Structure 1
């Protein structure tokens, strides 16, 4: 796959193209050797997928029943969104209907936003859902897209890669936490999808963006821990510009930042971080020492000090590793990238001085490029015009880590990378709610091994990221543990013979547990995929392909919002799809 958006010197959304090959078979024959050599010699961007032309060649070799004459629906497995019992609605508003053709390095599409007439106040919203529904015909790569309201990002995802008969997909994201933003006065909606149209890549993306609102009865109450912020301040670039509103971090020394001011009566602050990797770092978890290694972290800086870190989930876009694997079930997080929260409440004593402060982002070991921005969620004291606070303790030791590598011939070999980091801060805030002390602590660990063998004919990646976050103090105290296991195998056999097999296998998981006080929902999530693909060549021609996916999504929550989905696909056929929306059905056996 080519990067979602290859970069010019500033790193802004210029799709990399390649002359159309008259012999796609050469790509298949050379792919593994080129990849393996790059690992222990000259650093170069990974070429970890089939081009659009290659996929078309594979499609043409499929049995007739697989040939697409109508649009194919691709989907990312996630739990359905249901409003709390007793809610009314939905009240639905079409925010934008737009085609994205030659939009690369062009300004985002914008539209005036006014709160829907049914929205009388942010406190009345029990559920807000942002629906992105899109389709595409023709030949095209996957592209990154983002949606912003008033400069605050609401959604980031990648598009699906189309089939000859077209492709359609949808995203339903819970945006209830942005209720204050949705209810605010007139604002600007911005959508960026940097697409390229030329003689080869002619796929136009058509998208509709709709907001669905549900409302609670006046008598219904919500737990204090789940109350949306009163104000959301964007930490991003501002319009006008010829790109998305994200910052572009291009290397390991690059710091992108902006200045923000916090209202004098804030009593809680949480920075929500959006992040995605592109171009040379799209497959960062496969990078070798000469490519700055496989470890990446996004550090959050407040006036130059590290106050939190994001160790990202390895999102694989819909054209990554092998595009066939993600058809029709796409990879975890591909259509709706995860976000990460950094509790800044302990630092409010510093922020409540009526001055602007620098909030910035850096990416450890980064290569070109990473898209990063954030939303600062602020809770305000409704009974007081000012709050006060102070920092009690703060500790952010330097990152600890190592890389070891070994190769005898410059091709085959192995290396291992490890990293760990602890960050902690404690501070107090005094408001009409009393004097509350808040502690924020992160414990992060990372391990990656990369083994290349069989003279570059096989590669195995094993990686695990573990992140423990503890927030203590008040109704919003919580403990979050996330684990991101990743296994990748790519290899083949029959080299030098008339018949060859090129193989991929990916095992990836998003595992999370959340617990808290103040009536907060306790939940567990285990979302795991096992996928594999095989392309067969005979006499240097594509003779066929097969691929399969198995995914289990298991979510359980203390409020009864439980969901289990077990789905298997072979080729484009979904063979088995069972889902249970009850806690009884999610119990482990």
Structure 2
């Protein structure tokens, strides 16, 4: 029997030999991609206000064929002011035909991450190209000064791995206007990590930390941390692993499958960031992701942690260490994070304190259970369960120029995973059912008046069904079915009255059957089919619907907007239909 964990690693290499595909772009000009094998997604682009933006090219048609970063110089846009209604990063990437792995891609400026994602694998005779966007309006303070940045896509090109990556990226600045005013954005952005230009930090185990020791301004009134944690190497398939004590019996990778990012300030627990189970385009079964990759595969979204209860402490003039670790990391996770700070414009110095923190003392240690049983013939049946739920409240206050502001972060984080196994001499069947969830609310009070309330709910469902059969001739037939989702609900209230709410749903499902020989080389694949459904709506009437379907690695259906009123997508320019974090600060009264 071929161990399941070993198969996951072998497949990434074996799968490079056979590829189907086409050359069509994901319909940027409104044409239909049906019949194409090129990258096609249902994700929305970042909505924009009307008007002509100022553009700053970061890099243009750079070639990525080694492990050296590609530096660039940034200069703020001329004649465009320093306050913008929207700032958008646009990136266009491509890979030539041939053989190549999926690669991690990042763009940094002044140590701050602007983009984090992975690349599409190429076809053996046809290349691939794709487009990404990220709303960076909250990072406006970073763009008001010149700086040095770099793009990095580590890639090997030789006689075996022949696919060459190319990329371009630019920033678009939309000037503020009466109809599209500039929102109140953070006054400063600080990267976590020691590289002044920018790179990810490797977290090999639960004790590894990405940290920055900062002396912040003396008038911090709010603070947030945007966190990315991406699985790599042995951790790439963390979501199908089992605790070490069951690894041999289940013939699966050890190390467990609970992963969670822990945020601390001066060693004190300060928040939690869930880890999304991103699946890359060479992951599990590479044909499932042609032409449509998994949820956020090419363009990760950060998770925003509210650190405002610590604002008073952060303003006391002393250096403070903000750190991120990944509980359960098993060699390894790549991480980056950015601290966003709002300052009190009416005071040079504020004071405050942390009032309570019930996250302290709550260990992120899941409960493990097992019903695995092995009979006299060596057959194994049963399941391994991993569960953890924590509720915590963190509260602190800041005495500002507009009064004492008390912020309470009340949050419940959950993780539930069941790994089911049915193993015989000729059949290895594993089913992964996993749900990561977060539900919380941040409340701000000025005195006794409830000034603002921000609710957020996230659900990351994942289902992986892999049935590996050993044929009579020694070949392996592997049927894989995968479903993954990203569900987000956010809501903003002012003075106790609901003001705005939004929902994002991004779901991808696919299946494929691989046939490998005894040397793990792919002989064929069949039955590939996949769908992506993306939906967004908000309480102000925005609606976005998109879907794409494929069979045999060609797009068979593509629908954009038909399921919205009037058969057309209508999205307000300030909304976040892609699921990127927002704060609603342009609407807050203080």
Gaps of 5+ in 1: 1-32, 39-44, 60-65
TM-score scaled by length of structure 2: 0.84
**5 Å matches for 1:109-124?**
109-122=70-83
Q: Distance in 2 between matches of 1:410 and 1:100?
A: 51
**5 Å matches for 1:154-165?**
154-163=114-123, 164-165=125-126
Contact 1:49 1:322 in 2 (8 A): no
Match of 1:28 in 2: none
Match of 2:258 in 1: 295
Deviation at 1:536, TM superposition (A): 4.6
Match of 2:206 in 1: 252
Match of 2:340 in 1: 377
Give the stretch that moved more between structures: 161-170 or 230-239: 230-239
Deviation at 1:73, TM superposition (A): 2.8
C-alpha distance after superposition, 1:32-65 (max 9, x if no partner):
x3234x5xxxxxx662563455343354xxxxxx
**5 Å matches for 1:163-312?**
163=123, 164-182=125-143, 184-218=144-178, 220-221=180-181, 227-239=184-196, 245-290=199-244, 291-312=254-275
Q: Distance in 1 between matches of 2:340 and 2:396?
A: 18
Match of 1:469 in 2: 440
Q: Distance in 2 between matches of 1:463 and 1:401?
A: 14
Q: Distance in 2 between matches of 1:249 and 1:279?
A: 11
Deviation at 1:426, TM superposition (A): 0.8
From the superposition, tell whether residues 563 and 219 of structure 1 become closer, same or farther in structure 2 (CA, over 3 Å).
closer
C-alpha distance after superposition, 1:452-497 (max 9, x if no partner):
2142521111111111121111555311010111100111446215
Deviation at 1:216, TM superposition (A): 3.0
Q: Distance in 2 between matches of 1:543 and 1:369?
A: 32
Where 1:128 maps in the other structure, the secondary structure is strand
Deviation at 1:413, TM superposition (A): 4.2
Contact 2:379 2:422 in 1 (8 A): no
Match of 1:83 in 2: 48
**5 Å matches for 1:403-442?**
403-405=368-370, 406-408=372-374, 409=378, 412-442=381-411
Corresponding residue pairs, total: 529
From the superposition, tell whether residues 159 and 544 of structure 1 become closer, same or farther in structure 2 (CA, over 3 Å).
closer
**5 Å matches for 1:40-119?**
47=8, 50-51=11-12, 54-57=15-18, 59=20, 73-84=38-49, 87-104=50-67, 106=68, 108-119=69-80
Contact 1:507 1:528 in 2 (8 A): yes
Deviation at 1:400, TM superposition (A): 4.9
Deviation at 1:582, TM superposition (A): 7.9
Match of 2:295 in 1: 332
Q: Distance in 1 between matches of 2:173 and 2:166?
A: 23
Deviation at 1:119, TM superposition (A): 2.8
TM-score scaled by length of structure 1: 0.84
Q: Distance in 2 between matches of 1:556 and 1:95?
A: 32
Match of 1:3 in 2: none
- Backbone CA RMSD of aligned residues: 2.7
